[in-house]
Amino acid sequence: MEEVSQMLLERVRTLLAEHDPAATARLDFLRAQFDAGLAWVHFPVGLGGLDAPREDQRIVDEALAAAGAPTNEPDRIGIGLGMAAPTILVHGTDEQRRRFLRPLWTGEEVWCQLFSEPGAGSDLAGLATRAVPQRPDGSGDSGDSGDWLVTGQKVWTSIAHEARWGILIARTDPNVPKHKGLTYFVCDMTAPGVQVRPLRQLTGEAEFNEVFLSEVRIPDALRLGPVGAGWAVAQTTLMNERVAIGGGARPREGGMIGVVAREWRERPGLRTPAAHDALLELWVQSEAARLTAARLRQQLAAGAPGPEGSAVKLAFARLNQEISGFELDLVGEEGLRYDSWSTGDWATARPNSANFTGRGAGYRYLRSKGNSIEGGTSEILRNIVAERVLGLPPEIRVDKDVPWKDLSR
């Protein structure tokens, strides 16, 4: 392990010597960092990594931060980093990996997730968006080497208004059970037939969107995985999504608990014995969740995320909501004030990231309500933990073997 650490530090020193952060354009530095294998050190050589242990990314990030190197603004491109990249790495072709991973990591191309639909949220496999094959001669016999025409509606699509690409699941065979008739695609968000409309949230902003797809033409070269194997590919996305949301690397007092702890220390007038006890309990729970996530990331070094990621995302949502509620009680009437986004008008703002720890208490309280929905509802995650982690009997499902076209909708 010491040899690996020294190798990474030597690579960082070489990168900094050849590309002085103070004199190199931000994008040029990020491209050079990717090409040096210092983007995702656990990725393969040539794809932003060095086949090093995942946890050693911390060594690189700390050394670059100390040198004043720019970041790729992970809050802005979180969907690409946490969901699209690991899916493309596992299921993409060599050509797809070479085409997408570098501009994804540098932030040149923003990604969104086209999964949920108005009639298929928690039951994602019930989605109705259709992908119909089109041969080069215009016939619809097969998608191989041809195109697909995609029609349908997606919803709750974060940052779709900023996205260049979207990861998309669509139904390619309605005559088989719902989990078996899906195929996974990469969708060009600038293609004709793609329409993005804002969805106002409880906060008044429109971080989310609904996306309408009207005979959007997707080349078969942008299909990830075999035809009909979309559910298996989507599991890679979903498992990584839950780890990205709930299991990200954080220092002690990172995230929401750090915001409230700073307020506690800096404003003695807010303190009461009851509030002290409540904050201490939330702090301990947050630290336990942070250490559990760290242990999960160590396990990831040996393979892809498993169902355990659902547990850390479940804990993340609950704690965020409890901490933001405690903060609102702590600050009293201050929590009724609503700070504006950078535009100065929260009612028309279109955020370009999902980061909200830097906002006011009122905003955090409202936005945290979505944590138990996005990335898998807490109810669904409890089912996953119960069945796939604890080994409890599964829920009875009467539609598993019924063709999708015969399901009641």
- Summarised one tens digit per residue, pLDDT across range 350-383 is 766 666 666 788 888 888 888 888 777 888 888 8
CA distance 44 to 51: 5
Percentage above 90 pLDDT, the chain = 56
Q: CA-CA distance, 295 to 317, in Å (whole number)? A: 19
Centre a 10 Å sphere on the Cβ of residue 197 and count the other Cβ atoms it contains.
14
Most confident of 119-128, 181-190, 296-305: 181-190
Q: Is the model more confident about 130 or about 375?
A: 130
Contact 239, 306 (CB under 8 A): yes
Closest Cα partner for 166 from 209, 124, 123? 209
On average, the pLDDT of the chain sits at 87
When mean pLDDT is compared across 148-157, 308-317, 363-372, the lowest value belongs to 308-317
**Given this model, what pLDDT does residue 308 score?**
74
pLDDT for residue 358: 62
Per-residue burial over 353-392, b if 16 or more Cβ lie within 10 Å, else e, is: bbebeebbbbbbbbbbebbbebbbebebbebbbbeeeeee
**Which residues make Cβ contacts (< 8 Å) with residue 177, sequence separation at least 6?**
399, 400, 401, 402, 403, 404
Question: Is the pLDDT confidence value at 305 over 80?
Answer: no
> Which pLDDT belongs to residue 1?
59
Write the DSSP symbol of residue 392.
P
What pLDDT, on a 0 to 100 scale, did the predictor assign at position 300?
60
First to last CA, the chain: 55
The structure tokens 């947050």 sit at 286
Whole-number Cα distances in Å, 155 to 142, 201, 207, 217? 28, 12, 12, 20
Please say whether the beta carbons of 115 and 169 come within 8 A.
yes
Residue 303 reports pLDDT greater than 60: no
Question: What is the reported pLDDT for 343?
Answer: 46
**Dist CA 265 CA 247 (whole Å):** 26
Q: What is the pLDDT of residue 336?
A: 78
Q: Are 253 and 289 in contact (CB under 8 A)?
A: no
Better pLDDT: 283 or 143? 283
- Comparing 349 with 54, which gets the higher pLDDT? 54
Share of the chain above pLDDT 70, in %: 88
**pLDDT higher than threshold 50 for residue 95:** yes
**pTM of the predicted model, to two decimals?**
0.86
The answer to whether the Cα torsion of 342, 346, 351, 357 is positive or negative is positive
